[in-house]
Chain A
Amino acid sequence: MENSKQNLCNEIVRRSGVNPRKCMKCGKCSGTCPAYDEMEYHPHQFVYMVETGDIEPLLNSKSIYRCLTCFACVDRCPRGVEPAKLVEAVRLAVVREQGKNHLKADDIPELLDEELPQQAIVSALRKYSK
């Protein structure tokens, strides 16, 4: 169990290309994050939890769907950690498990909003049409 958790953690680090050790724990990412209040775990905590291998709570947390992928944290992190990429990698780790989709592809048309940018729709379809 310990081992497979560590493997998953390494996999997440590899997929994201993020080196969580670069984080100096300044909290600028969380200071900047517009989705902060929606999140149970905040960007700097994501980085810290992956660094320490405490990944289970992240996999089960709604936080991974609250990130807007706005990349504000990526832009402003003074150490080039790129927390959003880590959030995305955790999200992928969950989504790639069969049946763990947050939505079904068929549910999407109903939820579509005129205002949504094209790009978001395309990426949503890509994500859910398995």
Chain B
Amino acid sequence: MQRIGVFVCWCGSNIAGTVDVAKVAEALKSEPGVVLSTNYQYMCSQAGQEMIKEAVKEHKLTGLVICSCSPRMHEATFRKTAAAAGINPYMVEIANIREQCSWIHKDMEEGTEKAIVLGRTAIAKVNLNAPLTPGESPVTKRALVIGGGIAGIQTALDIADAGFYVDIVEKKPTIGGKMAQLDKTFPTLDCAACILTPKMVDVAQHERIRIFSYSEVESVKGFVGNFDVTIRKKARYVKEDVCTGCGLCTEKCPQKKVPNEFNLGMDNRRAIYIPFAQAVPKVATIDADYCTMLKTGKCGVCSKVCTAKAIDYTQKDEFIEEKYGAIVAATGFNPISMDKFDEFAYSQSKDVITSLEFERLMNAAGPTAGKLLRPSDGVHPHKIVFVQCVGSRCASCAEKGKEYCSKICCMYTAKHAMLTRDKYPDTDVTVFYIDVRTPGKQFDEFYRRAVEEYGVHYIKGMVGKVSPEGNKLIVQGSDLIANKQLKIEADLVVLAAAIEPDKSARPLATMLTASMDTNDFFTEAHPKLRPVESPTAGIFLSGACQGPKDIPETVSQAGAAAAKVIGLLAKDKLTGNPCVAHSDEMMCNGCSSCEKVCPYGAITYSDKEFRGPNRTTLIRRVASVNEAICQGCGCCTVACPSGAMDLKGFASKQIMAEVDAICK
């Protein structure tokens, strides 16, 4: 028989406000096995924990029930307390009377009644609990970073500098991400390439970093400390180790009409290409959708001009298998499509562009060699209108826009406006805004400079429509402060498009069993206290894949994610979860049902000898669970038709006892 101590927590007024804690403690006194039932203001405080330890000693307790907040909050705390008091940590049960009771009830009587039932349920379980000891598993001292934008780059560098091996998987032919496409960066206006490319080179030269460019993650198996990952290295038809990056092929390729994605389709590239001069790795890639050799077998010009003999038209996708201890998602973001916003005439006029396109137009390596020229006729625009919040803060049109604020566009629009006025003082610049959101160090000062020093006109109001008329764009919008509707004849309109997570993030999250929010941003384990970890152990988050972010924030988060990874890889062993599945060999009939449902591949079968009737020996096929791999999800226990599979700590009879206690 257990000797159970029950501790009812007030959580200040969080619980005590809607639950009569004294009454709950009193009512639970008479439950089977209970030898002590009491209440206290803050059980998790040092004093509260001391109280538990004393009680264990004084009353010779063998099990504890803490009626408090969610086990997600403090189960670990109270398990530690139990261990310190000398009882097995798995003899502790939490009755969640806060999140699932006091916070959702208004009526004291109802709340109290429910808290008593929840407490009784936990007591019923503890009566059947048995001490458990967790197993240990080794840690593979190598990290995988998925996505090679500034987030992935920084995370990889920090982990590698701490002495661990890191692989970066980047789906594009080069690392660098969106930052490589930017011209100058707020709030200091340093050139993006000048601060990014040295980091890209550091990555390339780091002895502990490998870059798998033009590659994607194909499958992920395993668990924290022991992930098995398959990486697909897509065929680029160029031998990476042989190509010198001279670029001769990219000049001679006769297929010249391929939209250049790096310049967002505003100019063309060849079918064989190097995305930009500072690409890492600086290796050519053949675009199989456009290469005449690959499509028709005729051409072969690149192969002829390549002095290094790097071209290989027969290359196939390659699969690489590697083990990792930790995985970091750094898959970044993209601006949303403007196709559905007819009112801004994006698809009707070439002179309505997005802000990212504007970055390329201002960039010395862009399609206009850094001259601000209209895409339609190459003429210098004298009147530019910027529209903020296009598709952001858009609650009504889920199929068009996003409900959230994209966070970076107020700042980059101020940057664009300022840079334009600086370079072209003859150009008049107007910005339509709903709000100007510029919290951040030196951010509001930056925006005010655009207005006060550079004379950018900020108009509070939104643009209702843009209509192309001749070679002008008529921008019709509200000026809410003047209470007027404005019609501005503009030469160029720039839309600050909302940003969204990369489309590949959702399938990746499924592979990683990492959770996402409804907008497909990765969710963190705790929004405040664990912002760079996913709720799935061993998966970490870096950069804009977790939520809209500018570069300073991305880099801080990337470093934080690296610190968490380093903390994990520095361990030699991880203590597992002892609440794993276990099959009763005497009941198992070897049907394979459990193996089929186990998402982690933890179940294997073996032929074992059993004693048959009349001193005979029978050979039977039975299941066994690898405790280091089992995550305790419980799928197998439900699938098993003979009731042989059970979960330690969550045995069927324990669950049934809980249900009985609720229904009593």
Could you say which of B245-253, B278-286, B441-449, B461-469 contacts chain A?
Answer: B461-469
Partner of B396, one of A27, A32, A78: A78
CA distance A44 to B484 in the complex (A): 12
**B395-A80 in contact (CB<8A):** yes
B193 within 8 A of partner (CB): no
**B434-A30 in contact (CB<8A):** no
A37 within 8 A of partner (CB): yes
A25 within 8 A of partner (CB): yes
* Closest B residue, CB atoms, query A39: B485
A72 within 8 A of partner (CB): yes
- Chain B residues contacting A77 (CB-CB under 8 Å) are 396
- Chain A residues contacting B396 (CB-CB under 8 Å) are 77-81
**B485-A37 in contact (CB<8A):** yes
Q: How far is the CB of A86 from chain B (nearest CB, A)?
A: 15
A29 within 8 A of partner (CB): yes
**A27-B395 in contact (CB<8A):** no
CA distance A42 to B483 in the complex (A): 9
A102 within 8 A of partner (CB): no
Complex interface residues of chain B between 448 and 486 (CB less than 8 A to chain A): 460-465, 476-478, 480, 483, 485
**A31-B477 in contact (CB<8A):** yes
CA distance A32 to B478 in the complex (A): 8
- Chain B residues contacting A37 (CB-CB under 8 Å) are 485
**A33-B464 in contact (CB<8A):** yes
- Chain A residues contacting B478 (CB-CB under 8 Å) are 26-28, 30-31, 42, 44
* Closest A residue, CB atoms, query B479: A27
**B480-A44 in contact (CB<8A):** yes
CA distance A80 to B401 in the complex (A): 12
- Chain A residues contacting B343 (CB-CB under 8 Å) are 32, 76
Complex interface residues of chain A between 22 and 53 (CB less than 8 A to chain B): 22, 24-33, 36-37, 42, 44
Partner of B460, one of A24, A27, A79: A27
B397 within 8 A of partner (CB): yes
* Closest B residue, CB atoms, query A30: B478
Assign chain B's interface to a size class: 20 to 34
CA distance A36 to B464 in the complex (A): 12
Q: How far is the CB of B396 from chain A (nearest CB, A)?
A: 3
B389 within 8 A of partner (CB): yes
Q: How far is the CB of B663 from chain A (nearest CB, A)?
A: 42
Question: Chain A 54-83 against B: per-residue CB contact (8 Å), 1 yes, 0 no?
Answer: 000000000000000000100011111100
CA distance A78 to B477 in the complex (A): 14
Decide: A72 near B464, CB < 8 A? Known: A26-B434, A31-B478, A31-B485: yes
- Chain B residues contacting A42 (CB-CB under 8 Å) are 478, 483, 485
CA distance A62 to B477 in the complex (A): 22
**B485-A28 in contact (CB<8A):** no
CA distance A70 to B114 in the complex (A): 55
Q: How far is the CB of A84 from chain B (nearest CB, A)?
A: 13
Decide: A78 near B397, CB < 8 A? Known: A27-B480, A32-B343, A44-B480: yes
B221 within 8 A of partner (CB): no
- Chain A residues contacting B465 (CB-CB under 8 Å) are 31-32, 72, 76
- Chain A residues contacting B598 (CB-CB under 8 Å) are none
Decide: A78 near B394, CB < 8 A? Known: A31-B477, A31-B485, A36-B485: yes
- Chain A residues contacting B393 (CB-CB under 8 Å) are 24, 26, 78-79
Tally of A-B Cβ pairs under 8 angstroms: 73
CA distance A25 to B401 in the complex (A): 18
* Closest B residue, CB atoms, query A41: B483
CA distance A83 to B465 in the complex (A): 17
**A32-B476 in contact (CB<8A):** yes
* Closest B residue, CB atoms, query A36: B485
**A27-B401 in contact (CB<8A):** no
CA distance A26 to B480 in the complex (A): 8
Question: Chain B 424-447 against A: per-residue CB contact (8 Å), 1 yes, 0 no?
Answer: 000000000010000000000000
**B389-A30 in contact (CB<8A):** no
- In this complex, the member of A27, A37, A77, A79 whose beta carbon has the largest number of chain B beta carbons within 10 angstroms is A27
* Closest B residue, CB atoms, query A81: B396
Q: How far is the CB of A24 from chain B (nearest CB, A)?
A: 7
CA distance A100 to B396 in the complex (A): 35
Q: How far is the CB of A5 from chain B (nearest CB, A)?
A: 24
- Chain A residues contacting B460 (CB-CB under 8 Å) are 27
Decide: A28 near B401, CB < 8 A? Known: A36-B485, A44-B478, A77-B396: no
- Chain A residues contacting B485 (CB-CB under 8 Å) are 30-31, 33, 36-37, 42
- Chain B residues contacting A30 (CB-CB under 8 Å) are 461, 464, 478, 480, 485
- In this complex, the member of A31, A76, A79, A80 whose beta carbon has the largest number of chain B beta carbons within 10 angstroms is A31
* Closest B residue, CB atoms, query A72: B464
* Closest A residue, CB atoms, query B397: A78
**A26-B462 in contact (CB<8A):** yes
* Closest A residue, CB atoms, query B484: A36
Complex interface residues of chain B between 472 and 522 (CB less than 8 A to chain A): 476-478, 480, 483, 485
- Chain A residues contacting B389 (CB-CB under 8 Å) are 26, 78
- Chain A residues contacting B462 (CB-CB under 8 Å) are 26-28, 31, 78
CA distance A63 to B393 in the complex (A): 29
- Chain B residues contacting A22 (CB-CB under 8 Å) are 395
Q: How far is the CB of A41 from chain B (nearest CB, A)?
A: 10
Q: How far is the CB of A18 from chain B (nearest CB, A)?
A: 12
- Chain A residues contacting B434 (CB-CB under 8 Å) are 24-27
- Chain B residues contacting A81 (CB-CB under 8 Å) are 396
CA distance A72 to B274 in the complex (A): 46
CA distance A69 to B651 in the complex (A): 65
**B476-A31 in contact (CB<8A):** yes
Q: How far is the CB of B425 from chain A (nearest CB, A)?
A: 28
- Chain B residues contacting A26 (CB-CB under 8 Å) are 389, 393, 434, 461-462, 478
Question: A26-B434, A26-B461, A76-B465 given. 6 additional CB < 8 A pairs?
Answer: A22-B395, A24-B393, A27-B477, A28-B462, A28-B463, A32-B465
A-B contact pairs, 29 of them (CB 8 A): A24-B393, A26-B393, A26-B434, A26-B461, A27-B434, A27-B461, A27-B462, A27-B477, A28-B464, A30-B464, A30-B478, A31-B464, A31-B476, A31-B478, A32-B464, A37-B485, A42-B478, A42-B483, A44-B478, A44-B480, A76-B343, A76-B464, A76-B465, A78-B393, A78-B395, A78-B396, A78-B462, A80-B397, A81-B396
- Contact surface of A with B, Cβ cutoff 8 Å: 22, 24-33, 36-37, 42, 44, 72, 76-81
In the A-B complex, the 5 residue pairs with the smallest Cβ-Cβ separation, listed nearest first, are A32-B464, A80-B396, A31-B464, A27-B478, A28-B462
